[in-house]
């Protein structure tokens, strides 16, 4: 069946560090891929998406590239800020949305 | 701005006392979803409506019910809440289902505490 695997958290970084959160997936067909972010006490917000192989989604300095050959959609940011502290969810969409377990990111000043 | 609104943001209820959570949307989306989320875990889908068609997940307890009286509103009814139902409840919408149409828009959530 379809599934999403994310790196376990929490991930703790210092401000201005480079961020990678790994996400790999298993799916039949050609899913769309999403990254959602959840700030403390809030609902989920779409951070970025990609709908076909080699697409790059980007938003707020975050990027992720849809790699079909490695079935991956890793989230990256060149220089993180304290305000990026949140839980990040990778998800794939075929008929329904399949969620990864989430990765908590903690950025220290 | 088009959005998804949930009321109330916080709800405290007693064990066994029925509670209703509400969700409204101004996006005019076809699909509305209810999720349960505990402790920043992945949200767990309870059910969804595609227009007026109700779709229950196989492992959603019978204690949870939903109503969608019109396109804009959807309600989650918990008939006899137990302590294990303490969680964040998230409402979401999408224009359609499948592929990129599953891009879901979330409300801020209702944090339910059962005492």
List pLDDT tens digits, range B65-113: 999 999 999 999 999 999 999 999 999 999 988 877 778 999 999 999 9
What is the rounded distance in angstroms from the CA atom of residue B56 to the CA atom of residue A92?
20
- Low-confidence winner among A48-62, A66-80, B75-89, B98-112 (lowest mean pLDDT): B98-112
Instruction: State how far the alpha carbon of A8 is from the alpha carbons of A21, A49, A73, A100, B34, in Å.
Output: 9, 21, 15, 10, 26
Which pLDDT does position A30 carry in this prediction?
84
Contact B10, B114 (CB under 8 A): no
Computed over every residue of chain A, the mean pLDDT equals 94
Q: Are A64 and A70 in contact (CB under 8 A)?
A: no
**Token pair listed for A59:** 């938003």
Asked if the C-beta of A25 comes within 8 angstroms of chain B's C-beta atoms, the answer is: no
Residues in chain B: 115
DSSP B34: E
Check if A100 contacts B (Cβ < 8 Å): yes
Contact B106 A45 (CB under 8 A): yes
Alpha helices by DSSP H, listed for A20-105, are none
**A-B interface: how many C-beta pairs under 8 angstroms?**
59
Shortest distance, CA A26 to any CA of chain B (angstroms): 15
Element (H, E) at B47: strand B44-50
Any CB–CB contact under 8 A between A34 and chain B? yes
- From CA B65, how far away is CA A72, in angstroms rounded? 37
Q: What integer pLDDT is reported at residue B2 of this predicted model?
A: 66
What mean pLDDT is predicted for residues A16-36?
A: 94
> Residue A46 half-sphere exposure, CB side, CA atoms within 13 Å?
19
Burial class of residue A18, CB neighbours in 10 A (0-12, 13-18, 19+): exposed
Interface test with A, best of B39, B42, B44 (most A CBs within 10 A): B42
The DSSP element (H or E) to which A2 belongs, if any, is none
């Amino acid at each position: 069946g379809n599934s999403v695997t994310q790196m376990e958290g929490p991930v703790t970084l210092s401000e201005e560090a480079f961020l990678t959160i790994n996400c790999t997936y298993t799916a039949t067909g050609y899913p769309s891929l999403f990254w959602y972010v959840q700030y403390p006490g809030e609902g989920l917000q779409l951070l970025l998406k990609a709908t076909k192989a080699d697409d790059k989604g980007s938003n707020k300095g975050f990027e992720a590239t849809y790699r079909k050959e490695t079935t991956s959609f890793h989230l990256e940011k060149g220089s993180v800020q304290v305000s990026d502290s949140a839980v990040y969810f990778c998800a794939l969409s075929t008929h329904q949305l399949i969620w990864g377990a989430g990765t908590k990111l903690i950025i220290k000043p | 701005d088009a959005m998804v609104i949930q009321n109330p943001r916080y709800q405290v209820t007693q064990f066994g006392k029925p509670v209703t959570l509400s969700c409204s949307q101004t996006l005019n989306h076809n699909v509305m979803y209810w999720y349960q989320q505990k402790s920043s875990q992945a949200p767990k889908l309870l059910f969804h409506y595609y227009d007026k068609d109700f779709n229950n997940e196989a492992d959603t307890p019978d204690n949870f019910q939903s109503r969608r009286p019109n396109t804009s509103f959807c309600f989650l009814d918990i008939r006899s809440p137990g302590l294990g139902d303490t969680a964040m409840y998230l409402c979401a919408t999408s224009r359609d289902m499948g592929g990129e149409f599953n891009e879901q828009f979330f409300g801020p959530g209702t944090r339910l505490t059962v005492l």
